[in-house]
Structure 1
Amino acid sequence: MTGFDRARWLALLIPFGLLAGAYGSQYIGGLYPCEMCWWQRWPHFAALPLALGAFVIGGPGARKALVAAAALAILVSGLIGGFHAGVEYGWWEGITTCSSTVTPGSGKDVLDAILNAPLIRCDVAPWTLFGISLAGFNFLISTLGAIAILALLRKGGNA
């Protein structure tokens, strides 16, 4: 397996794995995302089709460009995660809005949902492991993963 092949697979598996973990923690673990959690997901959503394109596009230059673009999207998610983790740890102030789990319905249903919905704060980590929050793990995995992808691309190999 060439360095390019490794880079291409990392560019696909990192956002897929992190999004699977995010949705698993949300729908299985009950950890609803705050606004900043959603911000971290969007670049991974962008990275997936870019990485998939690197498996189906014909020219080697285009494949490398797609992998590099996916790596940059992954890096953006990691940097957002780093900012979010800093907010959770109290290193700096974050945004002033938070999220709730309200879904549309009738007027009375929406009001009841608003009044009963949990408030998801951006400055409180709902879960940690070894003192690292989910945003912190996204920062570590995405940033290091993007650096690894870009290093593998620089190292070369056949596209």
Structure 2
Amino acid sequence: MTRRFAILLAAGGSAALMLGALGFQYIGEMPPCKLCYWQRYPHIIAIVIGLLALYFTGRALPALGALAALTTAVIGGYHTGVERKWWEGPTSCTSGSISELSTDDLMAQIMSAPLIRCDDVPLELFTLSMASWNMLASLSLFALWLLAIKRS
């Protein structure tokens, strides 16, 4: 596999994942949570890096693409843990313990809570959430970026 083809596959994979995310958001009417948005930013960066890496030689741009893919994979892994209740997510998009809250505090928390929670799984496929699938796909894209570095 050539450097150029690996870059096309890696950046194209990020583009495909972004199109899928936008499709679920706008066609499937599944609005993203805060962590879903966080997973999108590195994909956008990887797409831009991929376009630049097609025209500039060297290892720096593929290395940055690999970093972007790895970043979104890590965020996807973190999001998976939040969804599976392995750890708490950001307080702005998950529910915490309410046992020590007064009724007034609980009502204030409910009224200020975001509409989309990070610890809810809107869609599962083969027991994996969209965050889990993004993590696995992004690790594959990371491997493609590493191949592009090797071929540089």
| TM-score of the alignment, normalized to the shorter chain, above 0.5 | yes
Aligned pairs for 1:69-80 (under 5 A) are 69-80=64-75
Give the match for residue 25 of structure 2: 26
- Structure 1 runs not aligned, ≥5 long: 100-114
Count, aligned residues: 135
The structure 2 residue matched to 1:93, chosen from 63, 88, 108, is 88
Q: How far apart are the structure 1 equivalents of 2:86 and 2:9?
A: 31
Give the match for residue 103 of structure 1: none
Aligned pairs for 1:123-134 (under 5 A) are 123-134=119-130
Matched, 1:150 2:149: no
Task: Tell me if the contact between 1:7 and 1:67 (Cα under 8 Å) persists in the aligned partners.
Answer: no
RMSD: 2.0
Give the match for residue 107 of structure 1: none
Task: Tell me if the contact between 2:3 and 2:147 (Cα under 8 Å) persists in the aligned partners.
Answer: no
Matched, 1:83 2:78: yes
The structure 1 residue matched to 2:131, chosen from 116, 129, 135, is 135
Give the match for residue 7 of structure 1: 6
1:56 is paired with a residue of what secondary structure?
A: coil
1:119 is paired with a residue of what secondary structure?
A: coil
Give the match for residue 62 of structure 2: 67
Give the match for residue 47 of structure 1: 46
Q: How far apart are the structure 1 equivalents of 2:72 and 2:140?
A: 11
Q: How far apart are the structure 2 equivalents of 1:52 and 1:144?
A: 19
Task: Tell me if the contact between 2:6 and 2:145 (Cα under 8 Å) persists in the aligned partners.
Answer: yes
Map Cα deviations across residues 104-139 of structure 1 (whole Å, 9 max, x no partner). Answer: xxxxxxxxxxx8xx8111001110101111100000
TM-score by length of 1: 0.77
Opposite residue 121 of structure 1, the aligned amino acid is R
Give the match for residue 104 of structure 2: none
- Structure 2 runs not aligned, ≥5 long: 95-110
> 1:15: how far off?
1.1
> 1:98: how far off?
2.4
Task: Tell me if the contact between 1:90 and 1:123 (Cα under 8 Å) persists in the aligned partners.
Answer: yes
> 1:46: how far off?
1.1
> 1:56: how far off?
2.3
Moved over 6 A (4+): none
Q: Identity of counterpart residues, as a percentage?
A: 43
